[in-house]
Amino acid sequence: MTLKGKTAVVTGSNSGIGLGVARELARAGANVVLNSFTERDEDHALAADIAKEFSVSARYIQADMSKGDECRALIAQAGACDILVNNAGIQHVAPIDEFPLDKWDAIIAINLSSAFHTTAAALPMMRAAGWGRVVNIASAHGLTASPFKSAYVAAKHGIVGMTKTVALETAEEPITANAICPGYVLTPLVEAQIPDTMEKYDMGREEVIKKVMLERQPSREFATVEQLGGTAVFLCSDAAAQITGTSISVDGGWTAL
């Protein structure tokens, strides 16, 4: 599988799943554009490391995915966008009658509206290039719900729906649009929660992972960022050319329950 010569833009990719997906796309030969809202030396260093490790071109472009004009500017600045991975996302947990309005607005903007703006900006480039892949990182919460996550669940269900519309609008073109729905993924953020949870439940690491954190994930294993990246690479492959408008769960059986 080679994605040599393709350019992938991955939103929210200076950590976690976005970085993992960008690394796997680069391993498959794609040039990559990393993104987040920060502008630090270490953000640019991540891109330099990828360029060196995989012999591809890699850049970091600062853009705040909560702002529509910055989403569109990211794609314009990238100059090319054959593969668009909409990954940037945040979470906030509260009962709906106490859910802070600013958190609702931020989650809808970053987890859903950003993908509307980047996709609108990227599709003309994909059409001009005669090939394109839109990969939206949704969630098991794009297909099922949990209490206290109204904004996140709404945004993730929204992006699964928008993926279908983009797929229909591009169905007769060499462009596909799909969603990946991860269950619980071992990112640095999740890893950091393990010690506190161990203390709270007075359990060892493995017990806390299997009994508390992965209670809803039948495999009792985290998905990894490399597995998510591998799924994105597959969706960019020729084998996936007729896969469009669907979602692929990488959730250890969560949505089979």
User: In the complex, which residues of this chain contact ligand NAD (CB under 6 A)?
Assistant: 12-18, 35-37, 64-66, 87-90, 110-111, 137, 139, 182, 184-185, 187, 189-190
Beta bridge partners of 166: none
Question: Minimal distance in Å, beta carbon 16 to ligand NAD?
Answer: 2
Closest CA to 71 of 128, 9, 15: 9
User: Which is closer to ligand NAD, CB of 37 or CB of 99?
Assistant: 37
Residue closer to ligand NAD by CB (options 6, 141) is 141
Q: How far is the CB of 190 from ligand NAD (least distance, A)?
A: 6
With beta carbons less than 8 A apart as the criterion, state whether 159 and 108 touch: no
Select which of 60, 152, 184, 201 is catalytic: 152
Strands (E), the chain: 7-10, 31-36, 58-62, 83-86, 132-137, 175-182, 247-250
As measured in angstroms, the least distance from the Cβ of 137 to ligand NAD is 5
3-state secondary structure of 131: coil
Task: Choose between 44 and 127: whose C-beta lies nearer to ligand NAD.
Answer: 44
Considering the complex, state which of residue 1 and residue 189 has its C-beta at the smaller distance from ligand NAD: 189
Distance (Å, rounded) from C-alpha 156 to C-alpha 96? 16
Minimum distance from residue 29 beta carbon to ligand NAD (Å) = 23
CB neighbour list of residue 217: distance below 8 Å, 6 or more residues apart:
183, 184, 251, 252, 253, 254
Query: Minimum Å distance from CB 234 to ligand NAD?
Result: 17
CB of 186 to ligand NAD, least distance (A): 8
Longest dimension (CA), the chain: 58
Closer of 14 and 119 to ligand NAD (Cβ): 14
Task: Give me the torsion for CA of 130, 134, 135, 138, rounded to 10°.
Answer: -170
109 close to 94: Cβ distance less than 8 angstroms: no
Which lies closer to ligand NAD via its Cβ, residue 65 or residue 235?
65
- C-alpha to C-alpha distance for 11 and 101, rounded to whole angstroms: 24
Look up 152 and say whether it is catalytic: yes
| Whole-number Å distance between alpha carbons of 27 and 234 | 13
- Show which residues are catalytic: 152
